């Protein structure tokens, strides 16, 4: 009998454990961030939440007490910020630098909270934390009220589509729990947030350090009738608000282990899919049906959003990484031209006309910001004119990609409407963007292919067309060498045209100045003109300082691989100043010319130029002859070569 009782108890205990595990697995998950200005108490708040939720082991509490006495800022009290600020630099300075993620759970739901930094130079980290959040707790120091970072973080939170916001007015203990202070800050924020796209704003007076209104309502602020912070978080409805999107799956990998299997792997972004469903592969619009769905190691009949799956299709369609598989009757949009919001995260400014890598979903493309419409003043939310975006600035920009993509606007899908911006030279992530809408008229413009093509035009001229791109400092000899070269080519009966830096500024680029942004646009236009002239079968001699590698790379990528010849006309600044044929260096030294390359604006030497002509050592005549030899060897002077 005793053995039977013991067996039944074990069975009951096992059932209870299974029930508990199932209950924990079925709890909803809320991701939220804490943000705001420096020293508003974000880390302290999260530490207090973890402490009051009784999620710390005894040894963690004892260690926290010891650390608080050693390096804490709260005297004999526990410094809860130390639970989150893990970096040594953070503890030394008493600030948050990186994004710290913490998990905790209550009776009602599970949480992942991102503690984001308040310093302006780490705004990029704050945006990273906000990009996956369902809600935001924006802290405000009751002593100081709204700060610039409060405005900036609020705007970014709104821009990133977070609808549920709690304005936690912290450190109420330091203003004697004064209701009038709370009401004044609330009124200020209500005025500011009128233009933001929040669905719900809740105002809450708290003291993170003392624990007031964190897990339970505070007796020190009986005048506040609302719930405490944790009950508020428990009640936030983070369910997907827009369920109208159909099945969407960006293709991450084409799985082809053998000749008998071809599967398309990815994570479902929205909707659900079943065996037998009709689907379309975008952007190339190839139709098929689902023949099998594999989830993990199992074949399943249906899969839904959030699941990582492998799809088999009935037909051998053209589908590769970066494509989108969608429901046939509920397709994504397709475009290569967009108006977008951009959060700029680099010390180097965003310059319209410069080429960047754009990573969206599972693909990376080349993209150019064709026009900066305006930037946003984060304090007033007013639009202001701008020619570039600086670090931490937000702007509305037109973006052109090198090929069409399947997408959704950001308001409908965070996954399919967002992208990151990558520097083509350093491969650093330098910005984040959100698609507002397609520039639909751009999608109706198509390249007209005439019957007479570039090869036919080149053949009749008995030459291979190319762009000879002369780059170097002012006074290095670019125009002189290009002029001599054109004479030699003309004497051979070759068809050429020289695009000189000064000449194009009399017409094609007369509206541009000499700022970095204008220089980028100047080179972009010249590159496009060079492309058209090469299509006409010409040898194009482009003589420009073109100081930035990225713009020279953009010009190169406009053409076929064998049509761009970069010629670095090399000379020291001292040599260029001695020549100074136009007196420009002297004016720049006197401060009469701003943004002058070599004096107060930098020049990036070519890394892989086809030719380097050192005009410190060789005459212009000798340099021109070096180019002729190169063109002969490479077969540019005879179309049959």
pLDDT value of residue 434: 94
Does the pLDDT of residue 86 top 50, yes or no?
A: no
Query: What is the assigned CATH class of domain 454-633?
Result: alpha beta
> pLDDT at residue 339 above 50?
yes
Cβ pair 526, 470 in contact under 8 A: no
CA distance 293 to 137: 40
User: Looking at residues 143-171, what average pLDDT do you find?
Assistant: 92
Residue 87 pLDDT exceeds 50: no
Res. 89: pLDDT tops 50 = no
> Is residue 451 very low, low, confident or very high in pLDDT (cuts 50, 70, 90)?
confident
Q: Is the pLDDT of residue 32 over 50?
A: yes
d(CA 120, CA 96) in angstroms, rounded, equals 11
Mean pLDDT of 15-39: 73
Q: Rounded mean pLDDT of 490-506?
A: 88
Given pLDDT bands bounded at 50, 70 and 90, which one contains residue 104?
A: confident
Task: Name, in order, each residue with C-beta under 8 angstroms of 630's C-beta and a sequence gap of 6 or more.
Answer: 565, 610, 611
CB atoms within 10 A of CB 42: 32
Decide if 259 contacts 313 (C-beta within 8 A).
no
pTM (2 decimals)? 0.72
pLDDT given for residue 545 in this prediction: 87
Q: What is the DSSP letter of 331?
A: P
Least confident range of 176-190, 577-591, 613-627? 577-591
Domain 248-327: CATH architecture, name and number where available: Beta Barrel (2.40)
pLDDT tier for residue 88 given thresholds of 50, 70 and 90: very low
Q: Which of 165, 164, 178 is nearest to 212 (CA)?
A: 178
Domain ranges for the chain: 24-235, 248-327, 333-440, 454-633
For residue range 459-475, what is the model confidence (pLDDT) as tens digits?
888 899 999 999 999 88
Is residue 37 flagged as an active site residue? no
Q: Residue 599: what pLDDT?
A: 81
Q: Check pLDDT > 60 for residue 161.
A: yes
Q: Residue 585 in contact with residue 630, Cβ under 8 Å?
A: no
| Residues 557-571 pLDDT 10s | 888 888 999 999 999
Q: Which residues of 174-241 form beta strands (DSSP E)?
A: 200-205
How far is Cα of residue 121 from the mean position of the Cα atoms in its chain? 16
Of 15-29, 263-277, 524-538, 622-636, the one with minimum mean pLDDT is: 15-29
| CA-based nearest residue to 423, from 370, 363, 352, 346 | 346
When pLDDT is cut at 50, 70 and 90, the band that residue 597 belongs to is confident
Average pLDDT of the chain?
84
Q: Which long-range contacts (CB under 8 A, 24 or more apart) does 314-320 make?
A: 314/288, 314/289, 314/290, 315/286, 315/287, 315/288, 315/289, 316/262, 317/281, 317/286, 317/287, 317/288, 318/281, 318/284, 318/286, 319/251, 319/254, 319/264, 319/281, 319/286, 320/251, 320/254
pLDDT above 90 (res 166): yes
At residue 421, the pLDDT reads 94
- Give the 3-state secondary structure percentages of the chain, helix then strand then coil, rounded to 5: 30, 30, 40
Average pLDDT on 570-575 reads 90
Q: Does the pLDDT of residue 241 top 70, yes or no?
A: no
DSSP code, position 121? G
Question: In this model, does residue 481 exceed pLDDT 70?
Answer: yes
pLDDT of 576 = 87
- Kindly give, in sequence order, each residue whose CB lies less than 8 Å from that of residue 215, ignoring residues fewer than 6 positions away: 49, 52, 53, 228, 229, 230, 231
Residue 533 has pLDDT above 80, yes or no: yes
pLDDT for position 301: 95
pLDDT for residue 91: 38
Q: Is 448 left (phi over 0), alpha (psi -120 to 50) or beta?
A: beta
Domain 24-235 CATH assignment equals 3.40.50.720: no
Summarize pLDDT for 49-68 with one digit per residue, the tens. 877 766 555 555 555 555 65
CB 169 within 8 A of CB 126: no
* pLDDT score of 127 more than 80: yes
pLDDT of residue 129: 84
pLDDT at 97 over 50: no
Whether the pLDDT of residue 544 is over 60: the answer is yes
Q: Are the C-beta atoms of 336 and 367 separated by less than 8 Å?
A: no
pLDDT at 396 over 90: yes
Mean per-residue pLDDT, 172-180: 96
Please tell me the predicted confidence (pLDDT) of residue 80.
56
Round to whole Å and give the CA distance between 106 and 536: 71
Selected residue with higher pLDDT from 582 and 537 = 537
Residue 314 has a pLDDT of 93
Best CATH choice for the domain 333-440 from the list 2.40.30.10, 3.90.1150.10, 1.10.150.20, 3.50.50.60: 2.40.30.10
Q: What per-residue confidence (pLDDT) applies to 96? A: 40
pLDDT of 540: 94
Alpha helices in 417-466 (DSSP H): 440-443, 454-461
Q: pLDDT tens digit string along 277-288?
A: 999 999 988 899
Asked if the domains at 24-235 and 454-633 fall in one CATH topology, the answer is yes
Position 17 pLDDT exceeds 60: no
Tell me the mean pLDDT in the region 4-33. 65
Report pLDDT digits (tens) over 614-637.
999 999 999 999 999 999 999 998
Note whether 325 and 249 are within 8 A (CB). Answer: yes
Length of the chain in terms of residues written: 641
Three-state SS sequence of 353-368: CCEEEEEECCEEEEEE
Question: Does 251 have pLDDT greater than 90?
Answer: yes
Catalytic-role residue among 546, 550, 572, 601 = 546
Whether residue 93 is predicted with pLDDT greater than 60 in this model: the reply is: no
- The DSSP code for 601 is B
Sign of CA dihedral 79, 81, 86, 87: negative
How much of the chain, in percent, has pLDDT values that exceed 70?
Answer: 85
Averaged over 333-349, what is the pLDDT?
91
- Residue 477's alpha-carbon distances to 348, 505, 620, in angstroms, are 30, 19, 7
């Amino acid at each position: 009998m005793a053995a039977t009782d013991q067996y039944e108890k074990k069975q009951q205990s096992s059932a209870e454990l299974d029930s508990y595990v199932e209950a924990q697995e079925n709890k909803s998950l809320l991701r939220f961030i804490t943000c705001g200005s420096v020293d508003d108490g974000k880390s302290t708040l999260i530490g207090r939440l973890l402490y009051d939720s009784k999620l710390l082991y005894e040894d963690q509490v004892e260690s926290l007490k010891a650390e608080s006495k050693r390096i804490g800022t709260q005297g004999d009290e526990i410094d809860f910020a130390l639970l989150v600020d893990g970096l040594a630099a953070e503890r030394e300075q008493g600030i948050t630098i990186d994004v710290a993620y913490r998990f905790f759970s209550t009776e009602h739901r599970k949480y992942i909270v991102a503690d984001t930094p308040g310093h302006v130079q780490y705004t990029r980290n704050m945006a990273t934390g906000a990009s996956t959040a369902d809600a935001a707790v924006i802290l405000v120091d009751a002593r100081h009220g709204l700060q610039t970072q409060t405005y900036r973080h609020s705007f970014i939170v709104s821009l990133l589509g977070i609808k549920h916001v709690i304005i936690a007015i912290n450190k109420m203990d330091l203003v004697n729990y004064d209701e009038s202070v709370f009401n004044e800050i609330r009124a200020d924020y209500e005025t500011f947030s009128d233009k933001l796209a929040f669905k719900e704003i809740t105002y809450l007076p708290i003291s993170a350090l003392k624990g007031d209104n964190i897990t339970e309502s505070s007796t020190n602020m009986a005048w506040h009738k609302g719930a405490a912070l944790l009950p508020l978080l428990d009640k936030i409805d983070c369910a997907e608000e827009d369920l109208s999107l159909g099945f969407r799956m960006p293709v991450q990998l084409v799985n082809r282990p053998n000749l008998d299997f071809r599967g398309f792997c990815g994570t479902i972004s929205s909707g659900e899919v079943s065996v037998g469903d009709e689907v379309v592969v975008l952007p190339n619009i190839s139709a098929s049906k689902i023949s099998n769905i594999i989830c993990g190691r199992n074949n399943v009949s249906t899969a839904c959003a959030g699941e990582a799956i492998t799809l088999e299709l009935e037909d051998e369609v053209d589908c590769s990484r970066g494509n989108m598989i969608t429901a046939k009757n509920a397709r994504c949009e397709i475009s290569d031209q967009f108006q977008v919001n951009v959060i700029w995260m680099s010390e180097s400014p965003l310059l319209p006309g410069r080429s960047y890598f754009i990573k969206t979903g599972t693909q990376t493309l080349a993209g150019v910001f064709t026009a900066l419409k305006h930037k946003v003043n984060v304090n007033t939310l007013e639009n202001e004119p701008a020619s570039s975006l600086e670090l931490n600035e937000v702007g509305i920009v037109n973006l052109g990609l090198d090929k069409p993509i399947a997408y959704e606007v950001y308001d409908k899908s965070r996954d399919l409407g967002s992208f990151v911006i990558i520097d083509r030279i350093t491969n650093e992530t330098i910005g984040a963007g959100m698609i507002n809408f397609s520039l639909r008229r751009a999608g109706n413009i198509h390249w007209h292919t005439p019957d007479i093509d570039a090869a036919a035009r080149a053949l009749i001229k008995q030459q291979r067309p190319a762009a000879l791109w002369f780059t170097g400092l002012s006074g290095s000899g670019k125009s002189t060498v290009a002029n001599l070269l054109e004479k030699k080519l003309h004497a051979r009966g070759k068809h050429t045209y020289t695009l000189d830096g000064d000449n194009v500024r009399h017409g094609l680029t007369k509206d541009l100045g000499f700022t970095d942004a204008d220089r980028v646009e100047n080179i972009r236009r010249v590159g496009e003109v060079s492309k058209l002239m090469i299509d006409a079968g010409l040898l194009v001699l482009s003589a420009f300082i073109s100081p930035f590698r990225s713009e020279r790379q953009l010009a190169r990528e406009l053409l076929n691989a064998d049509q761009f010849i970069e010629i670095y006309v090399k000379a020291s600044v001292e040599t260029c100043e001695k020549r100074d044929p136009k007196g420009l260096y002297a004016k720049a030294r006197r401060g009469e010319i701003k943004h002058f390359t070599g004096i107060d604006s930098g020049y990036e030497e070519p890394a892989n130029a086809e030719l380097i002509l050192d005009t410190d050592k060789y005459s212009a005549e000798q340099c021109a002859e070096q180019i002729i030899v190169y063109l002969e060897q490479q077969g540019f002077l005879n179309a049959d070569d």
